[in-house]
Structure 1
Amino acid sequence: MAQHKGAISLPVAKFATGSDERWSQPAFDDREWKQINTGTVWQSQGYTDYHGYAWYRIHVIIPSSLKDNAHWKDSLRVYLAHVNDVDETYLNGVKIGKTGRFPEDEGGYESKWPAVRQYHVAMNNPAIRWNEENVIAIKDYDGGGSGGIFMGSPYLDALERTDGLRVSVPQDRLQYTNKGMNAALLLQNQFNTTLHGVLQYTLYDVISAKDIRTSTVQVSLPPHQSQGLNWQAPNQEGLQLRYVFTEAGSGLKVADTLALPYILTPAITVFPKINNARVYGARPGHPFLFCIAATGEAPLTYEVTHLPQGLTLNAKTGVITGTTPAKGDYKLSVTVKNKRGLAKQQLTIKSGDQLSLTPPMGWNSWNCWGVNVSQDKVISSAQAMIDKGLTGHGWTYVNVDDGWVSPQRAADSSMVPNEKFPDMKGLGDWLHERGLKYGIYSSPGTLTCGGYLGSYGNERKDADTYAAWGVDYLKYDWCSYERIAASDTTLETYVKPFRVMQTALQAQPRDIFYNICQYGLKDVWKWGGANGAQSWRTTEDIEDTWESLLQIGFQQNKLYPYAHPGGWNDPDMMIVGQVGWGENLHPTRLTPEEQYTHVSLWCLLSAPLLIGCDLSKLDDFTLNLLTNDEVLAIDQDPLGKQAQRVLQTPAYEVWLKPLEDGSHALGIFNMQTTTNTVSLPWKSLGLQNKQQQVRDLWRQQDLGTVKDEYSVTLPPHGVRLLKIGK
Structure 2
Amino acid sequence: MKKFFSSFLFTATLLSPPNCLASSKSGTDPAPTPPLGWNSFQSYGVYFHDQAAHKNIDAMARLLKPYGYEYFVIDNGWFGEYKLEDGTNFPAEKHASDVNINEYGFFMPSRTYFPNGFRALIKKCHDKGLKFGVHLMRGIPRKAYELNLPIKGTAYRARDIASTRNICTWCPYNYGVDMSKPGAQEWYDGLIQHLADMGIDFIKYDDIVPFPREVEAVTKAIAKCKRPIVLSLSPGDTVPANEKALKVFQNAQMLRVTPDIWDDLHGINLCFEAWKKWGTQSKKNFWIDMDMIPFGKLQLMSNAAKKTADGRNTVRLTGKGTRRTCQLTPAQMRTFITLRALSASPLMVGGDLSTMDDFSLSLLQNKEMLRCNQNGVCATLVLSENGIEIWRAAMRDNPKDGYIGIFNRTKTVTTYVFDTKKLLNFTEVALIDIWNNRKSQGVRLKKLEIAPHDVIFFRFTR
TM-score interval for Structure 1 and Structure 2 normalised by the shorter chain: 0.7 to 0.9
Distance 1:355 1:277 in 2: 17
Contact (CA 8 Å) 2:392, 2:404: kept in 1 or not?
yes
Contact (CA 8 Å) 1:367, 1:582: kept in 2 or not?
no
Report the equivalent of 1:516. Answer: 233
1:414 matches 2:106: yes
Report the equivalent of 2:325. Answer: 587
Shift of 1:355: 2.1
Say which SS state the counterpart of residue 602 (structure 1) adopts: helix
1:279 matches 2:24: yes
Distance 1:624 1:473 in 2: 26
Report the equivalent of 1:633. Answer: 371
Distance 1:432 1:613 in 2: 22
Say which SS state the counterpart of residue 104 (structure 2) adopts: coil
1:478 matches 2:216: no
Unmatched segments (≥5 aa) in structure 1? 1-204, 209-235, 237-265, 281-348, 483-493
Distance 2:129 2:410 in 1: 43
TM-score by length of 1: 0.49
Shift of 1:611: 0.2
Which of structures 1 and 2 has the bigger CA Rg?
A: 1
Shift of 1:454: 7.2
1:19-418 → structure 2 map (5 Å cutoff): 274-280=19-25, 349=26, 351-352=27-28, 354-387=29-62, 389-406=63-80, 407-418=99-110
Computed over aligned residues only, the root mean square deviation of the Cα atoms, in angstroms, reads: 2.7
1:673 matches 2:411: yes
The size of the alignment, in residue pairs, is: 376
Distance 1:657 1:689 in 2: 15
CA deviations 1:118-152 (Å, max 9, x no partner) are xxxxxxxxxxxxxxxxxxxxxxxxxxxxxxxxxxx
CA deviations 1:151-177 (Å, max 9, x no partner) are xxxxxxxxxxxxxxxxxxxxxxxxxxx
Contact (CA 8 Å) 1:393, 1:627: kept in 2 or not?
yes
CA deviations 1:343-390 (Å, max 9, x no partner) are xxxxxx3x24x2211101110001111111112212211111123x32
Structure richer in helix, relative to its length: 2
Report the equivalent of 2:269. Answer: 550
Shift of 1:278: 2.3
Distance 1:624 1:530 in 2: 34
- CA, structure 1 residues 395+408, in 2 after alignment: closer, same or farther (shift >3 Å)? closer
Shift of 1:554: 4.2
Report the equivalent of 1:70. Answer: none
- CA, structure 1 residues 363+695, in 2 after alignment: closer, same or farther (shift >3 Å)? same
- CA, structure 1 residues 381+697, in 2 after alignment: closer, same or farther (shift >3 Å)? same
Shift of 1:574: 0.9
Contact (CA 8 Å) 1:372, 1:582: kept in 2 or not?
yes
Give the AA of the match of 1:366. Answer: F
Give the AA of the match of 1:713. Answer: E
Shift of 1:699: 1.9
TM-score by length of 2: 0.75
- CA, structure 1 residues 391+267, in 2 after alignment: closer, same or farther (shift >3 Å)? farther
CA deviations 1:296-345 (Å, max 9, x no partner) are xxxxxxxxxxxxxxxxxxxxxxxxxxxxxxxxxxxxxxxxxxxxxxxxxx
- CA, structure 1 residues 427+277, in 2 after alignment: closer, same or farther (shift >3 Å)? farther
- CA, structure 1 residues 356+462, in 2 after alignment: closer, same or farther (shift >3 Å)? same
CA deviations 1:659-714 (Å, max 9, x no partner) are 123312000011111111111223432x321332211112222111112x343111
Report the equivalent of 1:613. Answer: 351
- CA, structure 1 residues 357+206, in 2 after alignment: closer, same or farther (shift >3 Å)? closer
Give the AA of the match of 2:364. Answer: L
Give the AA of the match of 1:467. Answer: A
Report the equivalent of 2:384. Answer: 648
- CA, structure 1 residues 524+394, in 2 after alignment: closer, same or farther (shift >3 Å)? farther
Distance 1:616 1:455 in 2: 37
Say which SS state the counterpart of residue 507 (structure 1) adopts: helix
Runs of 4+, deviation exceeding 6 Å: 205-208, 266-269
- CA, structure 1 residues 430+605, in 2 after alignment: closer, same or farther (shift >3 Å)? same
- Pick from 221, 227, 252: which aligns with 1:504? 221
Say which SS state the counterpart of residue 559 (structure 1) adopts: helix
Give the AA of the match of 2:251. Answer: G
Give the AA of the match of 2:264. Answer: T
Shift of 1:548: 1.7
Shift of 1:625: 1.4
Distance 1:706 1:631 in 2: 22
Give the AA of the match of 2:203. Answer: L
- CA, structure 1 residues 652+581, in 2 after alignment: closer, same or farther (shift >3 Å)? farther
Distance 1:666 1:277 in 2: 17
CA deviations 1:608-643 (Å, max 9, x no partner) are 000000011111111111111011110001xx2200
Give the AA of the match of 1:394. Answer: G
Contact (CA 8 Å) 1:207, 1:715: kept in 2 or not?
no
Higher relative CO (CA 8 A, sep ≥ 6), structure 1 or 2? Answer: 2
Distance 1:498 1:411 in 2: 24
- CA, structure 1 residues 499+360, in 2 after alignment: closer, same or farther (shift >3 Å)? same
Shift of 1:649: 2.0
- CA, structure 1 residues 503+606, in 2 after alignment: closer, same or farther (shift >3 Å)? same
- CA, structure 1 residues 403+551, in 2 after alignment: closer, same or farther (shift >3 Å)? same
Say which SS state the counterpart of residue 260 (structure 2) adopts: coil
Give the AA of the match of 2:32. Answer: L
1:699-718 → structure 2 map (5 Å cutoff): 699-707=436-444, 709-718=445-454
Shift of 1:580: 2.1
Unmatched segments (≥5 aa) in structure 2? 6-13, 81-98, 142-167, 178-183, 303-321
- CA, structure 1 residues 468+710, in 2 after alignment: closer, same or farther (shift >3 Å)? farther
- CA, structure 1 residues 581+710, in 2 after alignment: closer, same or farther (shift >3 Å)? farther
1:695 matches 2:424: no
- The worse-fitting range, judged by mean Cα deviation, of 581-590 and 697-706 is 581-590
1:445 matches 2:164: no
Contact (CA 8 Å) 2:110, 2:117: kept in 1 or not?
no
